[in-house]
Amino acid sequence: MITFFVCLALLIVGFLVYGKLVEKVFHIDDRQTPAVAHPDGVDYVPMKTWRIFLVQLLNIAGLGPIYGAIAGACWGPVVYLWIVFGTILGGGVHDFLSGMMSERNDGKSISEIVGLYMGKVITFIMRVFSVVLLVMVGVNFAKGPADLLARLTPDALNGTFWLAVVLLYYLAATFLPIDKIVGKLYPIFGICLIIMAIGVGGATLITSGADMPELGAASLSAVHPAGTPKWAMMFVTVACGAVSGFHATQSPMMARCITSEKEGRTVFYGAMVAEGIIALIWAAAGVTFYTHGGSLLDGMAGLSGAISAQGQGGVVYDICTTLLGPVGGVLAMIGVIACPITSGDTAFRSARLTIADWFHIDQSDTKKRAMLAVPLLAVGAIIVVALPWEVLWRYFSWSNQTLAMIVLWTGGVFLYRFGFPPIACLMAALPATFMTAVSVTYFFQAPECLNLSTSIAYPVGIVVAVALLILFCVKTFGSKKSNDLRSAQSK
């Protein structure tokens, strides 16, 4: 219990202290935001800060901080460290930079932002990569909630029925102006999500607080029941609760709605910290729920077995109904269902905007908007029927962290080119280096990728990460051309 509260306090202090430092380093000013400069009534729509915060939280907090945290709890309380420090030093910086870089470039999609600072080749790669990732996210976040809804309704309303309903809703949310569905419903769902997290966290502390594992030598050395190594598998499994590239595709949508740069820390960094708190609660609940007075290893084994038998959705259902009772369980499940749905629809919306930015298609035109929205949802429907959910989720996890790596490197280049000091650039470059090591190592060791031994994957991941950090320092700090460009752009 002590470990949980210390980690919770660190997340809050991280927002107040490190988030403020990131904001100060970025040098926010009073320039007109895109929403104020040219509102279009569709995507560029000024909204209040509290509403944008809740929309951003729902955009980024899909199944990831719940399912990922539960799966991450199979490594024991060591996962708390990744959630806390990943959120403060990596995820918060990533989300803030992706949102504010977009805001300072007229609300452009993240693929266009990366292209501006990383070159034409990476622009094309990012455009394709972003659209594929977003469709995969939308597909993943359609299947999961459909199955959960099927568990709460009569047998006649099965998973297929709810999948069709979810996809039809996605079409409406992708097509309509952002303030018609997203801006009105998301704050309500955001409040439900927060209440659900508080309910599960509070019930865990009250009913099983004594069983809540603490960080110590034994817990740090505890191994996954299935023998899955911590590095780099845990850092990819728990993505949305610590560092997630998907967030970079969502932040530009809110960058088109903020009315002042001063809102950036609350909307982007703050929503990431809120998601980290949600992930921390579910990670703690996951392993504690299955301990029942036994040892930490018993709890980890029980959680791992439950996931294998009924999936993360079944684990969520059991935890909610057991801790909160039937009524509370249903309320909690609504929160869990709302999370993925409200990330899935904005994933397809982001895909539409990415393609529109790519081909310069005016989205204030209803027909042109429909021309992109309908085919995207049709492709998503085909994919969700054709491929198993487990396969989709594994590939999404790796591509998610790879995108985070690219965005963090882009943030480092952005900061340097616009006159920020080297220490500020390293605030992005160092987590980018870490995420490079994670992504490369995972690609070499994961069963769905190259499936090589850790003796190969570990050194390759470290060498590539260090090499890119050296290259970054040479190309930015040591290049005369870069220094000249930096001097010109900082004036």
Q: What is the pLDDT of residues 246-299, one digit of tens each?
A: 899 999 999 999 999 999 999 999 999 999 999 999 999 998 999 877 889 999
CA 175/CA 371 separation, integer angstroms: 10
CA 301/CA 303 separation, integer angstroms: 5
Closest to 311 measured CA to CA, from 66, 58, 59, 81: 66
Question: Which whole number is the average pLDDT over 434-457?
Answer: 93
CA 18 to chain centre: 19
DSSP 30-58: -PPPHHHH---SSSS----HHHHHHHHHH
Question: Which whole number is the average pLDDT over 37-62?
Answer: 91
pLDDT of res. 342: 78
Query: 351 — phi, psi (to 5°)?
Result: -60, -40
pLDDT at residue 399 greater than cutoff 70? yes
Contact 42, 363 (CB under 8 A): yes
pLDDT at residue 125 greater than cutoff 80? yes
Burial of 158 (C-beta count, 10 Å sphere; 0-12/13-18/19+): middle
Domain-wise residue ranges, the chain: 2-398
Question: Which whole number is the average pLDDT over 293-315?
Answer: 88
pLDDT of res. 144: 72
> How many Cβ atoms sit within 10 Å of the Cβ of residue 459?
12
Question: Which whole number is the average pLDDT over 388-416?
Answer: 82
pLDDT at residue 488 greater than cutoff 50? no
pLDDT of res. 208: 86
DSSP 285-326: HHHHHTTTTS-HHHHHHHHHHHHHHHHHHHHHHHHHHHHHHH
Tell me what percent of the residues of the chain surpass a pLDDT of 70.
Answer: 95
pLDDT of res. 389: 56
pLDDT of res. 480: 54
- What superfamily does domain 2-398 belong to in CATH? Amino acid/polyamine transporter I (1.20.1740.10)
| Residue 485 binned pLDDT confidence (cut-offs 50, 70, 90) | very low
What are the tens digits of pLDDT across the range 71-99? 999 999 999 999 999 999 999 999 999 99
pLDDT at residue 385 greater than cutoff 80? no
CA 200/CA 128 separation, integer angstroms: 39
Residue carrying the six token digits 């609760």: 241
Q: Which of 413-422, 454-463, 482-491 has the lowest mean pLDDT?
A: 482-491
103-to-54, 87, 89, 257 alpha-carbon distances in Å: 18, 22, 21, 9
Mean pLDDT of the residues in the chain: 88
Query: Which H or E element spans position 418?
Result: none
pLDDT at residue 390 greater than cutoff 70? no
Encoded tokens for 384: 């969700």
What are the tens digits of pLDDT across the range 157-198? 988 899 899 999 999 988 999 888 888 888 888 887 788 888
